Chain A
Amino acid sequence: MSMTIALAGNPNSGKTTLFNALTGSNQHVGNWPGVTVERKEGQTRYGNQVYRVVDLPGTYSLGAFSEDEVVAREFIVSGNPDVVINVVDATNIERNLYLTTQLLEMGTKVVVALNMVDEAESREIHVDEKALAQRLGVPVIRTVASRRKGIDELMEAAIAVARVPLNGHVQLSYGESIDKRIEVLKGFLQGGDFRYPSSWLALKLLEGDSYAKKFVFENSNLRDLEEFSRFWDEVAVHEEEFQLEIVDSRYKFVGDITKDVVRRPGVAVETTTDKVDRVLTHKYWGMPIFAAIMFAIFQLTFAVGQDLLGEWMAVAIDYVGGALEGFLVGVNAPAWLIDFIGNGMVAGVGAVVEFVPLIVILYLLMGLLEDSGYMARAAYVMDNTMRAVGLQGKTFISMIVGFGCNVPGVMATRTLENKKDRMIAILINPFMSCGAKIPIYLVFIAAFFPSYGGLVLFSVYALGVAVAFLMGKIFSKTLFKGETSHFIMELPPYRKPTLSNVVRNMWDNVSGFLARAGTIILAVVSLLWVLAVLPLGVEPYGSASILGRIGQFIAPIFEPAGFGTWQAAVGLFSGIAAKEAVVATLGMVYAGVEAGTELVAAIREVFTPLTAVSFMVMTLLYTPCAATLGTIKKETGSAKWTLFSAFYSFGIAWVLSVLVFQVGRVLGFS
């Protein structure tokens, strides 16, 4: 079996950048703490060997307060990595070495990657890595993961460390009263079949670590149980005190080392980050600036993605469709096949693919935001507002991630420490309008509001956020009462976004979009096409087809919202498979080969501006797609909450779209 190398370190220290550099993977990176919330695996070749590399979510300690940290801790403690590459941010070495200390206490084989040394040097922070290596007793390699510097040396050191057995491990002193108790505990622990050094287990027990407790109580034949429980009762009284003392001891250990090996300027100079933050986190301007940035993103997306590139795409799809049909007619293909390809596939899938340029632009812009370091500021700026609705600023990050796709959005809630915060964040995430819904809005915008594209799109997103806030408030007052957790978030320094990161993150999303168009959307469209032309003899795509009848059965539900047509009903229904399917279905049932313009023209005939708005509200808010529901199930571990999510969002969507339509009608809109 090949060796396993785990990457561990503080949030935003560059683990995933290093992982990508090592394995040639394209994992999502960003300049904010909490990008990686899952374990990612890859392989790297060094010499003639292949090694398994595991990227872990960032963590400040092995204490594991949130779900993502639990993932990291579990792997380090029980995943048996052959060696841990501990990625240490050279600009913030004191805090980063805290985790290093914990790894050393555990007797893990560690190699330190002293990362971002370039940034440290530019801030005049100098680390003597040789002295540091000597003090820690493990190799320390200088790296700049983003520029692939030091990667070979790092691999060499990691392999060398993994090959030889560990000789002893770092033993800190935690003060007399704790050291004494560690010795006593070690006595109790002897004879158990443990994978960990008994001094570490003893220490963890004193720290009140739940994993260690469970491990010891389940795996050991503790000696003198009676005496032990007496001892344990006495320890429990002091638990909190011990915890803090142990942390202090570790920081003292770190401080003693850094005092000798790190040189930093005496007076902190005001950095560019400080200057930029003066504006972006300003008490009054912070929020308007955030809103303006988001608004600009949508305007730009529209101007470039739709007005400039969208036309070409429509022409290209028409051309491909026409050519395909011409070819099929030329080779005397059966009529049903021509119809399936032209009216089913090209009209359906084409209606989705047409919007790729726009989605590319949107994700490029969001990528810039992510890579710059602004995300953490957005969370900061929003904290007050979020708190007013019973949530906290960090939740907002999962919401922004949801703008891309609700699947990672729901997963991003793992960074929330508090169960209540996390449940609410999961339940409101689907109101964040994802990229897959964009084609729906665009068709309706093109049909009714062509000159206000950016504004309408921005308003739709804003409505989603507003509904999320409202539901957050309601949930925190009813289903999930309790304290909102405190806001603690590191604000990383601003960095110039790198092209490769921005493009990679864009491609992450766009390739998913394309892949869905080629798989699930194609499958849905094919199935619906069959239903639309059967039973034989009825008018295809007509109300008498199976599809038409299904649609007619559902349609009355949407009557009060103004779009009670069977086509709209079928479209919405298919959207539960994947949101792009809404447009694909509309494209198929309303239009033929020339999907783009013809679909828009058809929509203009059957909808009105008012019903278009109410339909957009519906698609924005109703039942999440299957993939999102699956993720909700996985993250909450509860079928009940998954079903709840599916139904309550439908209810909200229905109520609001009915409200829009009915109130709009009273006000004289049509």
Chain B
Amino acid sequence: MKYLGILILAIGVGLCAAFGARLSDGMYEQTRLGGQIALLEAQTDKAWADYCAAREAAKLEQGECAPPEEADDPPADTPLEAAEDGAEAAVEDEAAQTPTYDEALAAEKAALAGVAPNAEGLSGPPAQARGRWLEARTALVEPRAQKASTPLPGPETRLAGWFELSGMPFLGGLALIVIGAVLGRRAAKAELSGDSKSGDDTRVDFGVAVADLAQKLRALADRAAALDAPTPAQRKEVQAEIEALQLTRFGPIVEARYQLQNRIGLAGFAHVFGPLSGAERWLNRSWSTLADEHWPETRTSLARSAEQMAEAAAALAEELKQAG
């Protein structure tokens, strides 16, 4: 049941995410125009770079290709970039009220007219290269006008448009997620309560493990309390014992915590794990203080750890009694 649940869940997430990813018609159109412009702009930039290379090969002055002047202020645009920026600004100003296609087209054509003339009377490869650039630049006019005159769909329109297109398969996927998750929950519950045939050998008897740990911590704390000035060997022994408790006692209890959660519920689990984690933290502290060679604080920390572990053991007994 567990694997069936995971499989159904995965199919559900796949369906939901795929149909959720689908763009509404309005956004598809915006994306299409944006993509067309981006790729055409890349072609235009490449054509411009080729043109500049052709000028260089023909040993012409940089002319239109001159880089912006070096200055302390923000870099200035080339004459060509300035003309382009001006045109874009004009289109953006109009876009504030979303221009009609004709208005946007007129603005784009005006911008193109500003950069189109071959004012230097170029000839040969540079002129041909400039012609190719102009052709690429001209191809941008219509898509840009179309994009400027197509308003971006608002959030609600996007939501409604998407739901109309993908809502049903998305909801189907969502239902599969819930079915898969419920099956997964049942399987997990069966596994944790021992009804599963999975042969789980990591089961922990919490009543025994927690009581045993509480006892061991109390014994360690009492032994530490009896030592006023431990020798380095005694300190090392205590450190080894702390490390063993951290790894072999706390580790398995923490690892198997979902079994406990399943048995006594989330609130009961919190009731036990609050003091248990406190005991673990105080034990960690005793390790740190031992490493810092501060024996009085080590003794205090071990005592606090034992105290909190006793609290955890009492809480567990109470919760287990309630759970029957």
Is A bound to B?
Answer: no
Q: Which residues of A contact B (CB under 8 A)?
A: none
Q: Which residues of B contact A (CB under 8 A)?
A: none
